[in-house]
Structure 1
């Protein structure tokens, strides 16, 4: 494990477990749902579900292993051991080589940086092609605790989206954009000016999640946790909005989390 500290914040990364942020404690209070599958994990080289696990690169059709019913979900690197490239007291860099079942050679990098005062966190992802070009996506899947466990109220999620991706019964976007609907959600929203969402545990803590990425998935259908997931494209984006990564043009996406106490 890699442990970073600044101010009264302590963050733990598990490189061997998909470079997952396993813990984020502010003033001793844990913000992330605990467990080997939770914390905050990286989604790459695709985000969310890929329909039937199939997508094209040029004229050639590729098939990914199905790991969520009839679909392939959340990429491959969350299940892969990463290597720690460097680490100091407040920051660390990690790298993961893309291998089977991804059809192309490449790598994914993640830079984790705590603010000097411990009041925020910046995460930067890169997807690089080392040989042939390929379509890709990248993003994060944080599991925030619904309740911080100190007898306070459950978290509230506040955001303003320009549209919502209409979701089919198979959880794949239909391609139609609709006016944002009230929750509960397992849905993707469009924010062309960048992701901006606030999670508030009334009387306890506020966390603001921002990114220049234009898509965010919000998931709040489980009792234990809620997810606000900035990502470079919508679910099934390898088919609907492919972003080509070349040896000269990597994909980079960044998110910042800032927090403040409310008591």
Structure 2
């Protein structure tokens, strides 16, 4: 099937899915207001088969050290799927299913499936990585770029993490967990009860980013956007917190964004 843009609608919510642009969510409009920063690098892209930075682009795969391209020197960042084409498997009015085949430079074959499901007051993204061959470590994450300002109103972030991963000079977690510090952030936080972050544009909209996963990177160092990124592990997690994909057990994760008018 083709990889043309897909439009889903529910009530006054509209989502654009772009299989041909790395499987990203190209836009989310609520009542005509665009919530996601526009552009080929933005929207909300899937981070798979790893999320965030991998130190020096190297990870231990069984007993083998694998080397990935350093697309954010000196590290590899955000996986390979956002740079590849996805294919449309199924579309209904409220749901799209798209798939991506893992290939070079990732050293293993496998398939990623993403389900995009829109309701009148929520968007649910579900991703799975499966293999029919070798087992391998992997991560899943999402990288949304929410507009910092809507209709002249700046966003406020509210979340209560159990800890913050101490960030080293190389931008990677040191392995120490510290008390959460005030922003601005390009930092990973731990939420053992599940990711729960609320973005509020006062007087306009409240949007909650939730996931059963316990890791989220919050990035708000840019003027234009704020990113809240649910992940199955921390940055460099292929080395420090690997999740194994096997022929019998895929890696699956879900995030739901729910909203209400204020």
**Band of TM-score, shorter chain:** over 0.9
State the distance in 2 between where 1:180 and 1:139 align: 21
Deviations 1:89-115 (A, max 9, x none): 100000000000000010111000011
Q: How does 1:144-159 map to 2 (within 5 A)?
A: 144-148=146-150, 150-151=151-152, 153-159=153-159
State the distance in 2 between where 1:98 and 1:258 align: 30
State the distance in 2 between where 1:9 and 1:205 align: 13
Gaps of 5+ in 2: none
State the distance in 2 between where 1:98 and 1:55 align: 17
State the distance in 1 between where 2:17 and 2:122 align: 16
Aligned to 1:140: 142
State the distance in 1 between where 2:182 and 2:137 align: 32
Q: How does 1:36-47 map to 2 (within 5 A)?
A: 36-47=40-51
Among 74, 80, 86, the residue aligned to 1:76: 80
3-state secondary structure, aligned to 2:149: coil
Q: How does 1:111-150 map to 2 (within 5 A)?
A: 111-115=115-119, 118-148=120-150, 150=151
3-state secondary structure, aligned to 2:49: coil
State the distance in 2 between where 1:92 and 1:154 align: 31
Deviations 1:38-64 (A, max 9, x none): 000000000000000001112111000
Q: How does 1:193-208 map to 2 (within 5 A)?
A: 193-208=193-208
What TM-score, normalized to structure 1? Answer: 0.97
3-state secondary structure, aligned to 1:52: helix
Gaps of 5+ in 1: none
Aligned to 2:219: 219
Q: CA deviation at 1:232?
A: 0.3
Aligned to 1:88: 92
Q: CA deviation at 1:69?
A: 1.6
1:66 pairs with 2:83: no
The ranges of structure 1 where at least 4 consecutive aligned residues each deviate by more than 2 angstroms after the TM superposition are none
What TM-score, normalized to structure 2? Answer: 0.98
State the distance in 2 between where 1:58 and 1:109 align: 24
Q: CA deviation at 1:130?
A: 1.8
Taking only aligned residues, the RMSD between alpha carbons, in angstroms, comes to 0.5
Aligned to 2:209: 209
3-state secondary structure, aligned to 2:137: strand
